[in-house]
Structure 1
Amino acid sequence: MSGELNRGSPVWERVSASLDPGASLLVIIGPRGSGRLRCARSWLGTGGRIVDYSQMPTGTTPADAVKEVLAHLNEHPDVRIAAVLPPAPEAYELAQRPDAQLVRGPDLFLTVTEVERLTAPTDLRPAAAPAPGMDAVPARSAEQLWRMTGGWLYGVETLSADPAAKVKVANALGRAIAPWVSHLDPNGFLHEAAFLPIFTEDMLQAFYAQRTERVPGLAQLAEACLILPAPNGEWIMAELVRRELRASMQRRNPDRAEQLDTLAVAALARVSEPGAAVVAAVERRTWRGLGSVLEEHWVDLFMTNPRMLRYAAHKIPAGIARGELFTAALKILAAAGKDRMNLPFPTAEPDYAEDRTAQNIRKLTEDYFRRPSSSAVTAGLVELGFLRIQGHYEESGHCGKRLRRVISQAAAAERVRPVLAGMAELQCGMSLHIAGRLIEAVNAYEAAMHWGASVDHSFIQANAAANLALAHAQAGNTQTAREWADRADSFLARTKWGTKMVGRGAQLARIYIAWHELDRQGMDAGLALLPAEPDNDEFWPLHAELLTLRERFFGSADAGLHRIHHLRSTRAYAAQSPMAVRTLAHAELVARVALDPLAMPGSLPVDSPELRNVQAYLSLQSGNVDAALATLHRTLSASKGGWRPRCLARNLQLLASAVPDPLGADALEIIRENYSADGELIDLLWLWQDPQNQDGLRDTLGLTEEQTRRLDCFKVPHRGHVEDRAALTERELEVLAGLRLGKTRTEMAAERHVSVNTIKAQTSSLYRKLGVTTREEALTKGKLWGY
């Protein structure tokens, strides 16, 4: 370092610009190593006197130091004096004299530009040789030196000359800063700022407010030389200052240091986004702080960045994170993708009674539920998700009902955040929905909407509104479904993560609405926004049903039937959820009767209003009016059932009463009243199939050309037009199966260990019964008859 720089202060050009050259007293208050004496010499030039009480000799008080300075001023009024003093009130009071000027500690710390100017000459000389056995440390840039030292002169000069002297500089800086800060803050609160990851007024308030009434501000920390403004405008603490203050606390009081880390992480989570707090906690290995952030903010992370939640869970040491609840939570978090949750389908046959993990989790949550709180709600949510992943869908619905009571109790005692309560109600609704308990699911979704609205949380409101739209669309409440779908769109516009997942319910709802409107283009437009085939979204059975309905009327019913069989075989256990059983059964039946109207089973695979209506209509087509009326009576007398199936059942009842004549005026008036009360074209579809009813329906309801066109595009099965089906023997069915697989007679004979002539005879018998002469005709007739 040049002798000229060594004699003068590197900050003098900047500092002197703000000083009065006519002053006779310069008060300098700064920490050791900051260049305070060099600043004093720069001000005095070749004359004047330095009074240095910065170290405060033993037995000397700040008042004594000030008295000596005043004595010098009185004895030598014509001599300029530079007084280097400790940060005491008396020193600042001295600086208020009319003939005095003040240089504060922060003024003495170098800027990035001054560091660059100061260290530039060192580029011309070789770096210091590394110690034996040590690798050379590369020279640091001016900004790196500044961020490491905060512009502390001793540190900058030492590290620029010897980049490997980091430990030496850190120790010296600690010895200089600690007593300096202690002068300003005898209670030690300012030291604690070293545990903060960022510095803003909000952060200081969040960190200190619960422990002291006098919360230090940024200005106070800057005056203490603990923080300084970076070129980008942010406040930072020098790396070595932070390290030394933290290390000092950890040596003196390790428990206190851990507590401060926890407080700092919690404060960061409150003023910033929780993900930043997670990263800070992991970097510091503050596991208690990480646990605190996760417990308080896991739901916020889940709705903004669940992959960060998974990252945090995996970082917690195994010795700290134990238990089946934590393991189950990890299994759920493993499904977090870039923009949605990719929940796996169960791979083992669900048996709740034999699932020991599920049983143990149930016991744990029951213990939590005895003390309703955020922890209890979180435990219940883990159980919900785990049960769904394992395929225990009905039990997940039971768990959702139990958890809703806990949410209510915790909310009454103000022991749960609205965001957590909203997320929990949302997931309860999902479990109840999948368990086929649609009315209870709607209640849970509405509760989630309430909690989301109370804090204007777009994710919760969007998801709840979308699922409400879907639930109402399934039940046929199309007008309500439209309203909820529109509301979901307004919330989705403000949702940052998982919009495709959150909005899936509203998309499916609109396709159901288009189906009720007999709107082919609307169905196609909605389906085009979804994957071509059902993915692993938890509403996949509804997607499969809608695809099959669309194909049954506008494509290939056989393709729809093949999809249902494929999904049942590849998702064997997921297809056992009550939602899947009901919707897939409906889709399968719709596809089957499109291929063969005689395929209506004597007993329904699922006793639902939708299937009973199909059964009643086909009974009418076969002339069995009494059977149709009996089936419709079951639907209309049941306490459960959505608006649309009941409306259709009433219309079919009127149709059955009029057989074989067209609908009368009274019947048409009843249909008009039903249709005017949120009716849809789907309600009229089966009535329209009889041409003798079309004029009456068109005139009474005032149907437009577009509506009649849609009704004409949809064709439903007519049993009376299908020839009687021949009964095939078991052997003939085996031959038909072989033909479908493209096997030759020789291959079929070898498989069954019979002669080729036997296969020929059975093939001839099969063709005769089917009334065909070729393989292609046999396959077509076999498909028509449901073989």
Structure 2
Amino acid sequence: MSETRQDDTSVDPLSAFARRLESTVAAGDIAAAATLITNHLPETWYGLPLTRVSELLQQINSSNSLDPMISSIAAFLAGQDPAVATGRGTTPALSSAWARTVQTLQLRTRGATHELQERLHEKPGILVTIEPLFDPNGSMHLMMTVQLGITAMLAGEYNLALTYFGAAQLQRLVPTVPFLTRDAYLKSAIIHASLGDTRDAQRALDQARDIPRTHSWAEPLIDSNEVIARALISPCDATADEMLAVPFHNLGEIWPFYMTALIRLVSHLGRRHDVENLLLRMEQMPFPHTPGEGLPGSIIPISRSMRNIDRGDMTAAKRLINDADPADPFTQQCMIVVELNAGRLRATQRAARALEKNPWVTGLRRAELWSLVGLAESYIGLNSPDKALEALRSMDALPGGMRPADLRQLGPRTRLLASSEFPCWLVDDVEPLTSGGSAGSPVNLTEREYETLRVLAKEITRAEMAAELFISVNTLKGHLRSIYKKMGVTNREAALLRARREGWL
């Protein structure tokens, strides 16, 4: 996808800057080259391959004419500790901005999410101010704004990330680095599709498509954000194929959100082996993270927990999710699913309340929906229909009201309750409900298997079950194997938990 687009861009302003810098160095005018780099840091960073940037900086640095701040960039690219100082030709604002960028990049490289959160709140001022003389086209201010958004996104402060990305989108488009604005739109789309409103995500995608492209090495990495956003918005075979085609090296720091998209694809497409195998491969990759910190340190236990839910092993699912960051909203969503499927309804309510009160996702629609789903389902299970209705009314008050995709998050008993209060919720592409709790037999069970499931709920011995059904114990075992396979579980406990939640019993 990215190669086709780049072929349409023969000469762009960023390429023109890169040629100008190279020709200045080739002419031996080191002082002019140093000034160009100082005044156009983003263009230098994104306009040339990073290996070439490092070579140029070392070449200029050896002449002793390079500003100390630029020397720190060379050290950073070489993997050394950059000692940032204010030197000749560099304003305090520019040096301070670069210092903060280097410090946050180092934390992000280590996956130190909690330290990132502390760093974000060290200074109350949100956006850096770069003096116009040393940021002639606004590219430095734009880059810093986007980097702050990425830092907030990785730290799990999604509302703050949207604030930064929104500020970047409001700045004028910089011809040399338009991909930074595109990056702000696409990362906003990922946040909205993951935790907010898919309609907002789609609008951000549409805005990003109109932005011109360059020859920067960053373009393919940003393209992967678009693939992730599309998979989150529309999980289907086509977006799954696009996801499978994304090279790991193009994911960069956004890899945890790639995994969330894979998990959503698995839940929508069923047990699709190629997607599940990719998840398993990613769990073994050395992506930067600190275990138990934020989404980077939580997505692997979340992935493993969801896989065990699918198998019906709630004990393992609970143990694994306990290794994730309890303050992260993705962890809290998974905790709701774990507790609900395990039949721990009071614990489900605690998890739902934690997500409801999480300040990092206040006002984000999908996060609010999952909190309300957890409350409604748990109150139904506790035979508190009045309180369940309160949660359903709050769902109806969400922006845009209830949608077909939202209704599918509710179990049959909850939807049956909702149908009397909100008849407008029953739309054509949502399966109609009956007083029995489902349309027909659950998960295509035969009448005999459905009868066996009802007897299984009595929690009597297998011999007693066989006697009540007038069959042999071996025949009973065959029925149970078939039931477990169709329900996607592996044991009696998981089968009964799912059947009760779905309203089949």
TM superposition score category, shorter chain reference? 0.5 to 0.7
Aligned to 1:601: 318
Distance of aligned partners of 1:302 and 1:601 in 2 relative to their CA distance in 1, 3 Å threshold = same
Aligned to 2:500: none
Distance 1:282 1:632 in 2: 59
1:427 shift after superposition: 1.5
Distance of aligned partners of 1:678 and 1:588 in 2 relative to their CA distance in 1, 3 Å threshold = farther
Aligned to 1:704: 428
Residue of 128, 147, 171 corresponding to 1:451: 171
Aligned to 2:194: 474
Distance of aligned partners of 1:539 and 1:680 in 2 relative to their CA distance in 1, 3 Å threshold = farther
1:313 counterpart = 2:54: no
1:271 shift after superposition: 13
Conservation of the 8 A alpha-carbon contact between 1:426 and 1:464 = yes
Distance 1:303 1:422 in 2: 13
Q: Superposed, which structure 2 residues align to 1:401-416 within 5 Å?
A: 405=125, 408-411=128-131, 416=135
Number of corresponding residues: 423
AA matched with 1:627: A
Aligned to 2:295: 579
Aligned to 1:155: none
Distance of aligned partners of 1:613 and 1:530 in 2 relative to their CA distance in 1, 3 Å threshold = same
Aligned to 1:234: none
AA matched with 2:45: F
Q: Superposed, which structure 2 residues align to 1:684-723 within 5 Å?
A: 684-688=407-411, 690=413, 693=416, 696=419, 699-705=423-429, 707-708=430-431
1:474 shift after superposition: 2.5
Distance 2:264 2:307 in 1: 8
AA matched with 1:297: H
Q: Superposed, which structure 2 residues align to 1:107-126 within 5 Å?
A: none
Aligned to 1:188: none
Distance 2:123 2:175 in 1: 21
Aligned to 1:646: 368
1:543 shift after superposition: 0.9
Deviations for 1:693-715, whole angstroms, at most 9, x for unmatched residues? 3993995413223x549x99x99
Q: Superposed, which structure 2 residues align to 1:236-275 within 5 Å?
A: 273-275=16-18
Aligned to 2:435: none
Q: Superposed, which structure 2 residues align to 1:84-163 within 5 Å?
A: none
Q: What is the DSSP-based 3-state SS (H/G/I as helix, E as strand, rest coil) of the residue aligned with 2:349?
A: helix
Aligned to 1:778: none
Residue of 206, 209, 216 corresponding to 1:489: 209
Q: What is the DSSP-based 3-state SS (H/G/I as helix, E as strand, rest coil) of the residue aligned with 1:578?
A: coil
1:547 shift after superposition: 1.7
Residue of 369, 388, 406 corresponding to 1:683: 406
Distance 1:406 1:428 in 2: 9
1:544 shift after superposition: 2.0
1:293 shift after superposition: 1.3
Distance 1:508 1:581 in 2: 19
1:422 shift after superposition: 0.5
Residue of 541, 554, 558 corresponding to 2:256: 541
Distance of aligned partners of 1:671 and 1:439 in 2 relative to their CA distance in 1, 3 Å threshold = closer
1:595 shift after superposition: 1.6
Distance 1:333 1:310 in 2: 6
1:490 shift after superposition: 0.8
1:647 shift after superposition: 1.6
Distance 1:529 1:634 in 2: 36
1:508 shift after superposition: 1.6
Aligned to 2:464: none
Distance 2:110 2:67 in 1: 18
Gaps (5+ residues) in structure 1? 1-269, 335-345, 347-356, 725-770, 773-782
Deviations for 1:190-209, whole angstroms, at most 9, x for unmatched residues? xxxxxxxxxxxxxxxxxxxx
Deviations for 1:83-108, whole angstroms, at most 9, x for unmatched residues? xxxxxxxxxxxxxxxxxxxxxxxxxx
1:644 shift after superposition: 1.2
Distance 1:392 1:366 in 2: 27
Aligned residues: CA RMSD? 4.7
Gaps (5+ residues) in structure 2? 1-12, 433-437, 444-452, 460-476, 479-488, 494-505
Q: What is the DSSP-based 3-state SS (H/G/I as helix, E as strand, rest coil) of the residue aligned with 1:579?
A: coil
Aligned to 1:741: none
Conservation of the 8 A alpha-carbon contact between 1:304 and 1:496 = yes
1:389 shift after superposition: 3.5
Conservation of the 8 A alpha-carbon contact between 1:278 and 1:293 = yes
AA matched with 1:685: R
Aligned to 1:276: 19
1:655 counterpart = 2:371: no
AA matched with 1:436: G
Q: What is the DSSP-based 3-state SS (H/G/I as helix, E as strand, rest coil) of the residue aligned with 1:571?
A: coil
Distance 1:574 1:512 in 2: 22
Deviations for 1:197-234, whole angstroms, at most 9, x for unmatched residues? xxxxxxxxxxxxxxxxxxxxxxxxxxxxxxxxxxxxxx
Q: Which has the higher contact order (CA 8 A, sep 6+)?
A: 2
TM-score (norm 1): 0.45
Distance 1:654 1:505 in 2: 34
Conservation of the 8 A alpha-carbon contact between 1:557 and 1:594 = no
AA matched with 1:309: V
